[in-house]
Structure formats: C-alpha cells, structure tokens
Structure 1
C-alpha cells in the first residue's frame, strides 16, 4: 500500500503522491504548477486552444513517472511495475465501477424516497390548489366544470395539473352539477384502490 497509494492519488491530484514519498519540493512544484496552469486556461480564455483537462494530464504523467522512478530506486523495478499496474487497474476499472454502483444506489435511494414520501405530499398540496380553483369556478358559474382538460386549459400555469407527481393523469369525475371527485392513482399508478388520493367537494 505504501507503493500503491502515491500512484493512485497522483491520477487525481498530481503532486500529492510526491508528498506521501516525502519529496515535498517536487510535489509542491507539480501541484502548484498544475493548479496555476489550469487556472490560466480557464481564466485567461485559452479554452479555445487548450482543453481544460490538458494541464492535469501533463502533470499527472510527470508525477506518475517521477513516482515510478522513486519506488524503483527504493524497492526495485519489479515492485514499481507491480504497483503501477495495480494502480491502473484500480483507477481505470475498479474506481469507475464502484462510482457507478454508488451513483446508481444513490439515484435509486432518492427515487424511493421521492416515490414514498415527497411525491405524495406534492400531489396532496397540488390537489388542494386544484380544489380551491374548482370552488372559485363554482362560485362564478354556480356549477363545477364538465371537462377537466378545458378547465385547466384556462391558464397556462395550470398545465402541470394534468398529472400528479408520479406522472399519472388525474381523473376528474363530475357526479352532478354540484358534486365532483378528483382522483390521483397514487404511487402504484392503479386507480380505485387503497392508495388513491381523492379530493371532492
């Protein structure tokens, strides 16, 4: 691990691997040069000529070759080559795989929380707003609207009222001129079961 870590960290932070090997002077030169050159590429407007990642690649290669030389002198060529090979495996294969799995798990977790809690609260709040507007409509016309699509089409801002937070269309039932029922299918997307959210007058 003492030989492996300087290689791995140099892929992401060129110069820091030298710090781990106690070569603070060269590590400082590589780290600061990379930081300054990257800043200049961004700030001075060299992006049309030089990609933003170019300084990092240049100093990363320098840092890795320097670490290879140091470990070869300290532990031998075989140890240096083995450490470099393992670090490449970790950075190129294992790290992206772990990151992908972590990101997927994070996304699925956020999706679960959204489906279980956030979407329900948002849908209930939205249905309350729709109910308020339906009452105002009845107050003006003495009846509830016959067609929900025509009703929400009166104002562009009501366009989001076509569907709930799970993207399921609202069902609007006019029982008679004085009674209505507004239904969200809930998180399972199936109407007329126990998780439906219902608003009526």
Structure 2
C-alpha cells in the first residue's frame, strides 16, 4: 500500500514538473515552489512514510530526480522509489 501511494504521488509530481518546465522553460528550484499554496498538493511534501522527498535538479537543468527513501529510511537502498 505505501509503495503504491508513493509511486503514484511521484508520478503526479513528475507530471506537474513537466508542465511547469513547459510553461516557464525551466524546472522549479524546490518542491515548495512547485506546491505553492495549493491545498491539494500539500501532501507532496512527504512520502507515505512521512519523510520528505529528496529533490534534485540535474546539473544542466534539463532534468530532475524525486526520491522517496522507502520504508527503511535510507537513501540508495533497494526500497527507494524514484521518478523516471
């Protein structure tokens, strides 16, 4: 249940990131900029385990990575959930 919810949320965030990039020609610098004051997106700050998402823009600014550290709470382990 938790991984499915987090995977769905990351997909929704990724779609919003693509729309943002299309509209503004760049990605937002952090998730708070993307979320703004929209009450429907406040849940996007944390994954299903109530941990903040890792968020990075690639060095060239042409891509992004959103990561949930998963159930073990550790980055770079098998249960991490990442954007495509």
TM over 0.5: yes
Name the counterpart of 1:119: 2
Report the counterpart of residue 12 of structure 2 in structure 1.
129
Deviation of 1:154 after TM superposition, in Å, equals 4.4
- Alignment of 1:187 with 2:71, yes or no, is yes
Bigger relative contact order, structure 1 or 2, given CA contacts below 8 A and separation 6+?
2
1:157-196 to structure 2, matched below 5 A, reads: 157-175=40-58, 176-196=60-80
Q: Aligned pair count?
A: 83
Bigger strand fraction: 2
Q: How does 1:32-181 map to 2 (within 5 A)?
A: 118-175=1-58, 176-181=60-65
SS at 1:123 equivalent:
helix
4+ residue runs over 6 A deviation: none
Unaligned stretches of 5+ residues in structure 1: 1-117
TM (normalized to structure 2)?
A: 0.90
> Please, what TM-score do these two structures have when normalized by structure 1?
0.40
Q: Are residue 198 (structure 1) and residue 79 (structure 2) matched?
A: no
CA distance in 1, matches of 2:38, 2:62: 23
Q: Which has the higher helix share?
A: 1
State the Cα deviation string for residues 161-194 of structure 1 (Å, max 9, x = none). 0001111110100113211100000111111222
Residues 108-149 of structure 1: per-residue CA shift (max 9 Å, x gap):
xxxxxxxxxx00011001111111100100110111111222
Separation in structure 2 between the aligned mates of residue 189 and residue 168 of structure 1, nearest angstrom: 8
Q: CA RMSD in A?
A: 1.2
Q: The residue matched to 2:83 in structure 1 has which SS?
A: strand
Give SS of 1:193's match: coil
Call closer, same or farther: CA 1:154–1:143 in 2, change over 3 Å: farther
Larger Rg: 1
